[in-house]
Amino acid sequence: MRVDVLTIFPAYLDALELSLVGKARSAGLLDVRVHDLRDWAHDRHRTVDDTPAGGGAGMVMRPDVWGAALSDVLTEGATLVVPTPSGPTFTQRTAEDWATREHLVFACGRYEGIDARVAEHHRARGVRVEEASIGDYVLNGGEVATLVMVEAVARLVPGVLGNAESVVEESHSAEGLLEYPVYTRPVEWEGLAIPDVLMSGHHGKVARWRRDQALARTAERRPDMIAALDPTRLDKRDRAT
């Protein structure tokens, strides 16, 4: 998968050199390219913004600078992602969908955001444009939102995680539940013991305990997720829990 990020703060994206994403890049599973938007500005001050049409506070990012950058970076079939607090919420389903795409281009806004014609123009040209919010709060720029989205997508790209099984039972997986609590050695710590069943070696009992815990935890913390479960996928014991 190829990922391009356009930003006026390329250093924010240095974190993509670390950990699993960094390893996936070294292994050739991910081709991540970070660009300085100012390279496409056309004045001596490398200006990328101007005052808002209609007046008001702050500055808006210029469409001509974005247009020039995007026409150099977008490839045929690429998806243009525009992080914005006014977009639909990015979820695990979004990550699963984007993990199947070949080329994602992230346009990191700053100030009051990017001139609305940038998304409109590219949509009209047939580019798949995804505006996405990472939550109901406002950040200073799209860089942190891009880090969140790239990490969530990258770990679903085949080969990026050492153990593909680990995404199956995770919180927010297709199962629709939060994950059960996890433990490791020492068996006893600060007077707290690992639940006996996890030390029993009985795979069936461990699986049932984990499912019960996942259901109870989801019911307590996220009743909205319980309400959204497909009843045909619940067994008798699930319903009792």
Contacts to ligand SAM by CB under 6 A: 83-86, 108-110, 112-113, 133-135, 137-142, 145
Please report, as a single letter, which amino acid is at residue 129. V
Backbone angles phi, psi at 118, to 5 degrees: -65, -50
Which residue number is nearest to ligand SAM in terms of Cβ? 109
224 belongs to an annotated ligand binding site: no
In the complex, what is the shortest distance from the CB of residue 42 to ligand SAM, in angstroms, rounded to a whole number?
22
Q: Is 135 annotated to bind ligand?
A: yes
CA 197 to chain CA mean position, Å: 34
Give the residue with the Cβ less far from ligand SAM, 117 or 205.
Answer: 117
Contact, 6 vs 37, CB < 8 A?
yes
In whole angstroms, the minimum distance from the beta carbon of 161 to ligand SAM comes to 25
Residue closer to ligand SAM by CB (options 63, 109) is: 109
Check the annotation: does 136 bind a ligand: yes
- What's the CA gap between 62 and 115, in Å, rounded? 6
Residues ≥6 apart with Cβ < 8 Å to 219: 226, 241
CB of 134 to ligand SAM, least distance (A): 4
Least distance in angstroms from the C-beta of 5 to ligand SAM: 12
Residue 192 bridge partners (DSSP): 189
Query: Parallel, antiparallel, or unpaired: how do β-strands 60-61 and 49-50 relate?
Result: antiparallel
**Residue with smaller CB distance to ligand SAM, 85 or 180:** 85
Minimal distance, residue 222 CB to ligand SAM, in Å: 20
Stretch (H or E) spanning 128: strand 128-132
Instruction: Return the number of the residue (86 or 163) whose C-beta is nearest ligand SAM.
Output: 86
Cα angle for residues 227, 206, 178 (degrees, 5° grid): 30
Nearest to 231 by CA among 176, 178, 179: 176
CB of 7 or CB of 213, closer to ligand SAM = 7
Q: Which residues are annotated as a binding site for S-adenosyl-L-methionine?
A: 109, 134-139
